[in-house]
Amino acid sequence: MSVLDGWMVDPSVDLLTKAKIQAQVLVPLVRALRESLGRDKADALVRSALRDWSARLFAEVGKQVEGAPRKKWAAMHTAMGEVSEHQVSVEMRRKDREALEFDITSCRFAEFFRALGEPELGTLLMCSTDIDIAAAGEGEVSFQRTQTIMNGATYCDFRYRFAPPAQKG
């Protein structure tokens, strides 16, 4: 049982397959919206809708995890690692009390969405979840990523910083 089971809908379906199922519906919808509204307007609408959906969804997942914000982030981050680990290659850069830094050096999600010609949709469905999971850290966890494979880089850089534990007085 994982904190992400509700998001996965059916935990027996792997995350890449879930993304492919989502794309079967969303890609034709996005393309029809672009034809009707124009690319910029359609992409802005889709971006807004999917970002709102993801932010609300992961905020709800975070509420279901007991404990301090950093514990919520850790539970969600670990669960996401477990459902994505077979689709990515990771090179650890740093892991200590102050920071977690790693690079994703290959990503089957990016390969799939780039082959479809829809890396922006892949970013919204896959990459942006990291932002929303970090938000569960409520200031105890900060997240920075400057590049992704999905958007053409050779690797994705994940940089988490952890606030020092509060002093008990």
Tens-place pLDDT, residues 62-82? 899 999 999 999 999 999 999
Residue 167 included in any domain: no
Residue numbers of the domain that contains 141? 5-162
Query: Among all chains, which residue has been given the structure tokens 């534990």?
Result: 165
Which tokens is 149 given?
A: 């494979």
pLDDT at position 14: 87
- pTM score, whole prediction: 0.87
Q: Residue 122 corresponds to which amino acid?
A: G
Contacts within 8 Å (CB) and 24+ apart, 28-35: 30/118, 30/121
**Residue 2 near residue 82, CB atoms below 8 Å:** yes
Q: Does a structural domain hold residue 91?
A: yes
Mind listing the pLDDT tens digit for each residue in 31-40? 999 999 999 9
**Cβ neighbour number for residue 60 with a 10 Å cutoff:** 11
pLDDT in tens, 49-63: 999 999 999 999 989
157: domain CATH number is 3.30.1380
Query: Is 70 exceeded by the pLDDT of residue 97?
Result: yes
